[in-house]
Amino acid sequence: MNNSRFIGVEIGGTKQQIAIGLSDGTILDRRQVRLQYRRGAEDILEWLAENIHDYLSMCNYAGKIEAIGVGFGGPLETSTGRVLSSLQVPGWKDFELKRWFEKAFNLPVIVVNDTVTGGFAELYKGAGQKSENFFYTNIGTGIGGGLFIHGKYYDGSGYGASYLGNMLVPDWTSALPGAYTRTELICSGRSIETRLRQEGYIPGDSILTGKHDGDRTQISCQDLAEAVKAGDGFANAELDRIGQTISLALANVLAAQGVDRIVIGGGVAKMGDILFERLRRFTDDLAFIANKGRYEILQSYFLDDAVLAGALLIASGGYAEL
C-alpha cells in the first residue's frame, strides 16, 4: 500500500486552506481560516507555518509527506514561484513564495495560480474530464482563468494567461458614456457584494432591503440568489447584468480559443441554475457561429475543494504545461 501523502495549500483573497491528501486529489484532512489581514501577507504566512508544521509533526503523517502544492490567488512567475502581486491582500508584491515554502518545510514545492490548480482538479477528476480544449474560471473574491489544451496548461510567456477577470467589458455602473472596466471589478463576488451594500443602490421595494434586519453591510451573493428565486425585480435585473457581462467575456474566450468546455467554480458559482441558465443563454446569443453548438458551460464539480484537490494533484507530479 502506498503511504505517500501530500500537502495542498490554497492562498486566497478571503479564505486560506491547507489539506493532507493523496496523489489523486483525495482530501484526508483540512484546515481553513478567514483572517483579518491586519499585517496582510504576514498573517497568512504565520498561519501557514504554524499549521503545516503541525501536520508534519503528527504521528499519522510524520515522514510520509512527499511534497507541497500551492495555489496562489494572484499572478506569479510560474518557473520560480515568485508572486507578482495580489489584488486583494497587501504584502505579496515580488514575494518569493516557492523559496519561502522550501526554506520553511524542507520539501519539494510547486506554486501556481489558484485558478490553474482548480482547473487541473476539474480537468482530471471533475467536470472537465475528457475535454481536449478546456477553460476553467473561478468567480469568487476575484475572477481567474486557465486554458488547458490536450491536458496541458497554457502559461503564455510564463506569467499566466487567460485571465478572464481582466478582460475589458462595458461598465454599466458608470454614468460616463462608453466607459469600460475589468470583468472582475463588477462581477466578482467581492464587487457584487460591495455594490449591493452601497447606500441607495438597492431600491426600497426590493426584498433585499429587509435582509439582516435592514443591515445592508451584511448582504451577500447568496441573498441576491434567494431574492432572484423569490421573483424580486431588482435582483433579477442585477443578476441579468452580471450574467450578460460574464457571458461577454466567455464569448471572447470562445472566439479566441475555441474551447469545447467551460467550467465555472468559486463562491458565485454556488448560485447554481439561476446563474448558469443566464450564462448559457447570454453566451449563446453572443457566440461566434464557429463556436455555436460546439461548447458547453458547466458548474464546477469540486466547488470549494477545487484548489485544494488541484494542489494535491500538482504536488504529486500532475502539473504539465505547453
- 3-state secondary structure string across 308-321: HHHHHHHHHHHCCE
pLDDT, mean of residues 202-220: 95
Q: Select from 10, 4, 6, 7 the least CA-distant residue to 306.
A: 10
Cell readout for 66 is: 512527499
Asked, colleague to colleague, whether 5-124+305-318 and 130-300 share their fold, the answer is: yes
Cell readout for 120 is: 487541473
The domain locations on the chain are 5-124+305-318, 130-300
DSSP H helical segments within the chain, as ranges? 41-57, 97-105, 114-125, 183-187, 189-196, 221-229, 233-257, 273-286, 306-313
Cβ-contact 39, 50 below 8 angstroms: no
Q: Given its phi and psi angles, is residue 205 left (phi above 0), alpha (psi -120 to 50 degrees) or beta?
A: alpha
Domain over 5-124+305-318 is classified CATH 3.30.420.40: yes
Q: Select from 18, 17, 22 the least CA-distant residue to 5.
A: 22
pLDDT tens for 111-120 read 999 999 999 9
10 pLDDT more than 90? yes
Indicate the average pLDDT of the chain: 95
Share of the chain above pLDDT 90, in %: 89
Tell me which residue has cell 499572478.
75
pLDDT tens for 60-99 read 776 789 999 999 999 999 999 999 998 889 999 999 999 9
pLDDT, mean of residues 110-133: 97
Mention the CATH class of domain 130-300: alpha beta
Reduced DSSP (H G I as helix, E B as strand, rest coil) percent helix, strand, coil of the chain, to 5: 40, 20, 35
59 pLDDT more than 70? no
Tell me which residue has cell 505579496.
92
pLDDT recorded at residue 311:
98
Burial class (CB in 10 A: 0-12, 13-18, 19+), 121: buried
Backbone angles phi, psi at 4, to 5 degrees: -65, 140
